[in-house]
Amino acid sequence: MAGIGGASRLNTAVLRRRDGGAMKPLEAGDPASVGDGRYRLVGRLGRGGMGVVYFGRSRSGRAVAVKVVRPELSTEPGFRRRFADEVAAARRVGGFHTAPVVDADPEGDPAWLVTAYVPGPTLQAVLERVGSLPADTLTVLAAGLAEALAAIHQAGVIHRDLKPANIIVAEDGPGSSTSASRGPSTVRRSRRPGSRSAPSAPSRRSS
């Protein structure tokens, strides 16, 4: 972790979890691809209540994070509409510190979402390895998080699952990644008309 001493600028993304670079092999029953072969799945990055996040490659070889929703969720009343709302909300989010949505199919069987892949460990993994961070590193980290949350709020979305496991720490400078992690992100309707809430997106590790 070259950037954790505070010497380099840290880029953070509000995304679904990433656990520091460990990728597990595909398991029996995992799809080989999504999007009619547009995105080939290479390995597993994480698993959550909504589904599995995979590391994948586009046809041009670009690295992507692919969230594949658990098939049984598609049968729940209103799920596909809610997932389509989540995708639309994630597409509205911009800024330096979030990973962009690349593609999605809420009507797929199963439904799936693709975001740019942002390499880097989660903040949780960093803290478990190095312990407390120096003040200058924390200052940069806090500024990145503030920018990410500002971008999310400007899109009319509320992040309801902000925690170290959902924050990616990248060593390249701000601007190399952009969305909410979502990459692939889970967005839920609030009870207040016109507002939405998004726990996070897949841009790399879990869901």
Catalytic residues, by residue number, are 161
Q: What is Dmax (Cα atoms) for the chain?
A: 50
Token readout for 121 is: 């460990």
Q: Is residue 184 packed enough to be buried (19+ CB in 10 Å), middle (13-18) or exposed (0-12)?
A: buried
Q: What string of DSSP letters covers 119-137? A: ---BHHHHHHHH-SPPHHH
3-state SS record for 136-168: HHHHHHHHHHHHHHHHHHHCCEECCCCCHHHEE
